[in-house]
Structure 1
């Protein structure tokens, strides 16, 4: 016989899977109050109650009374958690998710979360989105505030990577509301605010993003860890940059970078340096020396422990850096190699910026109309998805590149006229 609270959880799961209310299950042979106490774990079931409930649910008694078998999801989770570094534990988890129909909801949540993290590190955000949708449903079923907040935070990050900012904003707002209402720990509230700041910034809502930054700095940073503070300052630096306050942006970014050593959190240490490189290249004028230094530091770490996605992100940044340094052949080669890769997994924004670079190179190569068409299409797509920050980057890049082509041509024409007798 299953003990409590496992019996109650499985009973409630079977009832909800069949779309039955408590009243529909108990019929005339049991009170809803007794069933409610069984489901909550307050009462231990009798053999007679188990038999009656199995009949009412249309399942074998073993579905309510016996522990899960040896091939259960719980065992697959244990195997995945104890696997040596580099071992692929996803196959066993996927098989158990498919075959173990009696799995506890908490085990299913845990397995889906682990698989979604693998999808994220591989850059497979479409698959990650599907898993996160199920995770959100499971979190609601489990009525666990921490799980509800964390799944919505990760869902917002995933949607942002896919370029769906409107839905990402909704998920981030939901996560923040849960964190506030349930008075969750600082880490959860900060994570919700950081992703919301990023989404609002990309949507061009700088006033809203700035308000969230002030909330972070006023209420949460004093109690935050070094890693949490670094991520918060990184997000805040982007807002300052978009507001044109490059001095504050630079100060926040450099403070964030100084808070962590590589041995503290290598993944975050590396991510901050690639993000800092991207920000330095977007400044006006670009901070090329700083960008090169940070990118070299990130590359050293990625060569040791980087994923294929991180390698692609590194190469994309190398292409942008080469372009700003006037090394157009190198920028062109890197850009073409990435865009021709069938396994390209860059997030929407990084992929779009790489396509902008390709369009700029096309114009500079003399195929002006082709390059203009590419950039105009990208600009309209970004505006249509409410990614106004990206749209502004596209139109600014188009104007700057046309000026690079047209101004020298105009000067040449003027000089030609002046030189005529």
Structure 2
């Protein structure tokens, strides 16, 4: 090309944009190369408002508009802004950044020469060559805001590409109608009303930038258009609230069903926060129905990555508690100890949940037989709770101190005093679940006093059972209340009531709660022995031995082994008694002298 051609090429890259919308004015070529309907019926050479006359022998664009032809035969829609990027609309997919060509256009000075021919599809001329197009594309790089999606959340960008086109169109139409706007008003100067109509019909998918700007014009958000519909989100959150209500009302099975549904729905819509909340409810539900191994797997996932919030600590507490319920005391202890440094780094050590976690670990140490370490942890927890002024943390620490005192020295007045102080704090904090568990422990203390007070214990257990139902206590917690009631009724001479309570306790006990199941079977065996049913008693004791074999080695297991050995000897099963004594000796941290008996020492005469 000559010098003139080079000058024209340079001018073409910096020429002006018209003041008119290319869709709303005639003589503007559409993406298929045909003239608009407004100009199609106009006679050759006719004047169109806002444009220069068009020669009947030469088809060219209006003198104040310049277009660039792309290899795919696209048309470019430019806005009236002083400096913009115009997206090229493809016939198949509509404007999508990364698949379209973009030109940068600026306003020219008045009086500049009209554009040369060759810039529209189907035209020839010096500016229709490939080299010109390449230079134009290089010169007209997209602005940074477009290259980076305008700062749009990457999640929303991905959703805009994956949402069903028909669903997206329906949401856009609903948002437009709710705003009381017409299609041209929403389309603005970027696309035609006809193209917006195709979007609303699900025939086109707009790129995220266009979606965002249309949302702004309609007074809504990009999240509302491509994310989960507000009514659907509300429905899922309501379902999760209902699941939590089922939990606190003692229906973990129904809570699990709802939580599972919310987990599935939230994963489909890629709502991570909702999915995490639903998984927490699912874990609590699994614990509540006794599926502890499944709860542990889920809680391991939830606690895998430390978070600087109390929810992470609550998940750790539940995980340690579940490990303790399954008898894996070493892992229950490790959960808290491995997290302690991270808790300090994240500045969570002053939270109530951090103190509760340490107390949960202390309980695992106690079950393991390391009473000294359990007491030390508990005393530090009491000091921390006093400094923080946390009612629940102080109550938890006093509660465990009461347990340790009773285990070391029996049901002393000090043990009862510590438990009563914890009970008062839990009542102030309106913590029904811990109230129920603490009342069950206080009932145990009354049964272990000298002499025992089973009537007071039964009264306390009545309230504990009500609070467990209200708070959605776990199956293991409910089973423990029933087994304790069986002990109290056995002391009162109510053999049938004791047998029924023990059977209910066994039925509610998770498979992994071996110690509870063993204790329930031993009580049923004791009832049979008191009725003179020796063979039935020995059968129950053997069931207890079978369950206890899976309980591991801890203080509770060692104590029950000793008591089972005595019961088996009374029932005439000498070999079984010897085996039970050997198992007791093999268990660690015995300390059975002052510890409360798991099976009440009751003679047959008392039941008459």
Fold conserved (TM > 0.5)?
A: yes
Deviation sequence 1:172-207 (CA, Å, 0-9, x none):
223433333433133022111111011111111112
Moved more, 315-324 or 301-310: 301-310
Deviation at 1:278, TM superposition (A): 3.2
Q: Distance in 1 between matches of 2:474 and 2:272?
A: 32
Q: Which of 437, 444, 449 is the equivalent residue of 1:271? A: 437
Of 364, 367, 372, the match for 1:207? 372
The farther-off stretch of 110-119 and 84-93 is 84-93
| Corresponding position: 1:115 with 2:282 | yes
Q: Give yes or no for the alignment of 1:390 onto 2:559.
A: no
Instruction: Tell me which of the two structures has the higher relative contact order, counting C-alpha pairs closer than 8 angstroms and 6 or more residues apart.
Output: 1
Classify 1:270/1:208 alpha carbon distance in 2 versus 1 (closer, same or farther; 3 Å).
same
Judge conservation of contact 1:79–1:89 (CA < 8 Å) in 2: no
Question: Are the equivalent residues in 1 in contact too, given 2:519–2:544 (CA < 8 A)?
Answer: no
1:215 Cα deviation after fit: 0.9
Counterpart of 2:400 in structure 1 is 235
Cα pair 2:436 2:464 within 8 Å, conserved: yes
| Preserved contact between residue 379 and residue 391 of structure 1 (Cα < 8 Å) | yes
Contact 1:161 1:347 in 2 (8 A): yes
Q: C-alpha separation between the residues in 1 aligned to 2:260 and 2:419?
A: 40
Task: Give the SS at the match of 2:534.
Answer: coil
Deviation at residue 167 of structure 1 after TM alignment: 1.9
* Contact map agreement 2:391 2:428 (CA 8 A) in 1: no
Task: Check the 8 A contact 1:200/1:206 in 2, yes or no.
Answer: yes
Is 2:230 the counterpart of 1:131?
A: no
- Residue pairs, 1:239-254, within 5 angstroms: 239-244=404-409, 246-247=411-412, 248-254=414-420
* 2:385 paired with 1:217: no
Match in the other structure for 2:321: 157
- Cα displacement (A) at 1:209: 0.6
Query: Are 1:331 and 2:498 matched, yes or no?
Result: yes
Mean CA deviation greater in 204-213 or 115-124? 115-124
Kept in 2, the 8 Å contact 1:204–1:389? The answer is yes
TM normalised by structure 1 equals 0.69
Measured in 1, the distance between the counterparts of 2:512 and 2:496 equals: 25
Q: 1:359 to 1:287 in 2, by over 3 A?
A: same
Matches for 1:299-314 after TM superposition, within 5 Å: 299=465, 301=467, 309=475, 312-314=479-481
The structure that has the greater radius of gyration is 2
CA change 1:283–1:168 in 2 (3 A) is: farther
Q: Is 2:295 the counterpart of 1:295?
A: no
Q: Mean Cα displacement is larger for which, 328-337 or 250-259?
A: 328-337
Change beyond 3 A, Cα 1:281–1:373: same
* Structure 2 Cα separation of the partners of residues 167 and 182 of structure 1: 23
CA distance, structure 2, for counterparts of residue 240 and residue 291 of structure 1: 19
TM-superposed deviation, 1:303: 7.1
Are the structure 2 counterparts of residues 280 and 401 from structure 1 closer, same or farther at C-alpha, using a change threshold of 3 Å? Answer: farther
User: How far 1:110 moved relative to its partner?
Assistant: 1.7
**Which consecutive unaligned segments of at least 5 residues does structure 2 have?**
1-143, 164-207, 209-221, 573-608
Aligned to 2:427, what secondary structure does the other structure show? Answer: coil
Provide, for residues 292-350 of structure 1, a one-character-per-residue CA deviation record: whole Å limited to 9, x for no partner: 331233245457777794665443322121123343333223323554x4x65487143
Q: Secondary structure at the match of 1:243?
A: helix
Equivalent residue pairs, number: 351
- The runs of 5 or more residues in structure 1 that have no matched partner are 1-44, 407-421
Contact 1:375–1:395, Cα closer than 8 Å, also in 2: no
327 and 165 in structure 1: CA distance in 2 versus 1, 3 angstrom threshold: same
363-372 vs 252-261, which deviates more?
Answer: 363-372
CA 1:220/1:303 → structure 2, altered by over 3 Å: closer, same or farther? Answer: closer
Instruction: Quote how far apart the aligned CAs of 1:135 are.
Output: 1.1
Matched, 1:79 2:238: yes
Per the alignment, residue 381 of structure 1 pairs with 550
